[in-house]
């Protein structure tokens, strides 16, 4: 009788432990796979200047980036306004995004300014990749980098 009672208590404890661990893992997955990363970037390439805000939103293995800004080429301004949907995969601290849909809004004039010559193809066509690295800086903030250049700060790690 005492052995049965001890076995039941052990089984119940094991079930509670497994349930608690599952709840913790489930919560961790939700928290670590939701993030917002933002940047205001300026790229100068010859007589071309790209100035834009990039708002990345990550949810689980999918995301979207909204781009709003201007391209200035030989003194002419071309509005940039688009949204890129993507899937992403994570390998350690590297994130590889693959564009699945590129929505170019009616106010976007990037094609007239030949933005495709200066932007990664990820921002131009579906099926293209962009890879960046995510790390915690010395102040405890999540920073996404392309190469050694920090480009986005994130609300939490994607």
Q: What is the pLDDT of residue 6?
A: 37
Local confidence band at 147 (pLDDT 50, 70, 90 cut-offs): confident
Q: What is the pLDDT of residue 36?
A: 84
The DSSP 8-state label assigned to residue 19 in this structure reads H
Among candidates 127, 63, 118, 55, which has minimal Cα distance to 90? Answer: 63
Q: Whole-model pTM?
A: 0.72
Interior/surface letters 64-94, b for 16+ CB within 10 angstroms, e for the rest: bbbbbbbbbbeeeebebbbbbebebeeeeee
Give pLDDT tens digits for 53-105: 999 998 888 999 999 999 999 999 999 999 999 999 988 888 899 999 999 99
Q: What is the pLDDT of residue 13?
A: 32
Spatial distance between the Cα atoms of 25 and 64, rounded to a whole number of angstroms: 25
Local confidence band at 156 (pLDDT 50, 70, 90 cut-offs): low
The residues near 123 (Cβ < 8 Å, ≥ 6 apart) are 67, 82, 84, 99, 102, 115
Query: Which residue's entry shows tokens 């970037």?
Result: 41
Higher per-residue confidence, 124 vs 23: 124
Local confidence band at 118 (pLDDT 50, 70, 90 cut-offs): confident
Spatial distance between the Cα atoms of 4 and 28, rounded to a whole number of angstroms: 36
Retrieve residue 151's tokens: 């480009």
| H/E run at residue 69 | strand 62-73
Helix/strand/coil (H, E, C) string of 85-145?
EEEEEEECCEEEEEEEEEEECCCCCCCCCCHHHCCCHHHCCCCCEEEEEEEECCCCCEEEE
């Amino acid at each position: 009788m005492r052995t049965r009672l001890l076995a039941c208590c052990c089984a119940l404890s094991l079930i509670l432990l497994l349930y608690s661990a599952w709840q913790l893992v489930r919560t961790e997955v939700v928290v670590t796979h939701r993030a917002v990363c933002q940047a205001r970037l300026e790229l100068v390439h010859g007589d071309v200047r790209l100035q834009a805000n990039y708002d990345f939103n990550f949810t689980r293995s999918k995301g979207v980036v909204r781009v709003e800004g201007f391209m200035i080429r030989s003194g002419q301004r071309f509005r940039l306004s688009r949204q890129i949907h993507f899937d992403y995969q994570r390998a350690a601290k590297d994130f590889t995004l693959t564009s699945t849909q590129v929505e170019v809004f009616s106010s976007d004039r990037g094609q007239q300014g030949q933005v495709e010559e200066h932007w990664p193809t990820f921002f131009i066509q579906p099926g293209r990749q962009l890879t960046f690295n995510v790390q915690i800086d010395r102040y405890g903030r999540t920073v996404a980098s392309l190469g050694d250049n920090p480009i986005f700060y994130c609300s939490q790690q994607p």
